[in-house]
Amino acid sequence: MQVASQKVVTLDYTLTESQGQVVDQSQGGQFAYLHGSNNIIPGLENALEGKEAGEELSVTLEPEEAYGERDERLIQNVPKDMFPEEAEVAPGNQFQAQGPDGSPILLTVTAVQEQEVEVDANHPLAGETLNFAVKIVDVREATDDEIAHGHAH
């Protein structure tokens, strides 16, 4: 069976950034997603289209096919008192905030001053060229529940 929309695809993968450092990996058939439901980055989903279980491929994605270019407008200073009192606010730490529409936004602390904290709402891999080594472990029909929920169960 080929990878196509509304199929559940199970992958083993290793993700490295442009300098070759491993950023993420999943082995042993632990990662499954519903193809065509925007569950993975667009460039990888496109590269997997039409492939079959057992195939292995290497995929290099430029930022626009992955997490996009960095947007300096997403770096802002916020008052330090907006963070919970017990929170450790230090460069590199991440916090979840709500966007204007109520959706969750991941913020990474980039600098801490006396009264303000600089946060970056760019995805940590924004602006990066990503390299995937992928093995397609399985491709199967999605259940009605998976299609209704928009993700693999």
Could you tell me if 82 and 53 lie in one domain?
Answer: no
For residue 136 the two structure tokens come to 């397609």
What's residue 68's pLDDT?
A: 94
- 97 located within any domain: yes
Q: Which of 7, 40, 33, 36 is nearest to 132 (CA)?
A: 40
Could you tell me if 44 and 57 lie in one domain?
Answer: yes
Domain span at residue 93? 72-120
Could you tell me if 132 and 115 lie in one domain?
Answer: no
Could you tell me if 53 and 104 lie in one domain?
Answer: no
Collapsed DSSP state (helix, strand, coil) of residue 79: strand
In this prediction the pTM is 0.81
- 1 located within any domain: no
- 78 located within any domain: yes
Tens of pLDDT, residue by residue over 131-153, are 999 999 999 999 999 999 999 99
What's residue 2's pLDDT?
A: 96
What's residue 102's pLDDT?
A: 86
Q: What is the distance in angstroms between the CA of the first residue and the CA of the last residue of the chain?
A: 19
Does residue 25 carry a pLDDT above 90? yes
What's residue 125's pLDDT?
A: 92
Could you tell me if 63 and 131 lie in one domain?
Answer: yes
Q: What is the CATH number of the domain that holds 100?
A: 2.40.10.330
Could you tell me if 86 and 99 lie in one domain?
Answer: yes
Could you tell me if 63 and 130 lie in one domain?
Answer: yes
Could you tell me if 116 and 132 lie in one domain?
Answer: no
- 39 located within any domain: yes
Could you tell me if 37 and 106 lie in one domain?
Answer: no
What is the signed CA dihedral for 73, 74, 76, 79, rounded to 10 degrees? 140
Could you tell me if 55 and 17 lie in one domain?
Answer: yes
Could you tell me if 57 and 14 lie in one domain?
Answer: yes
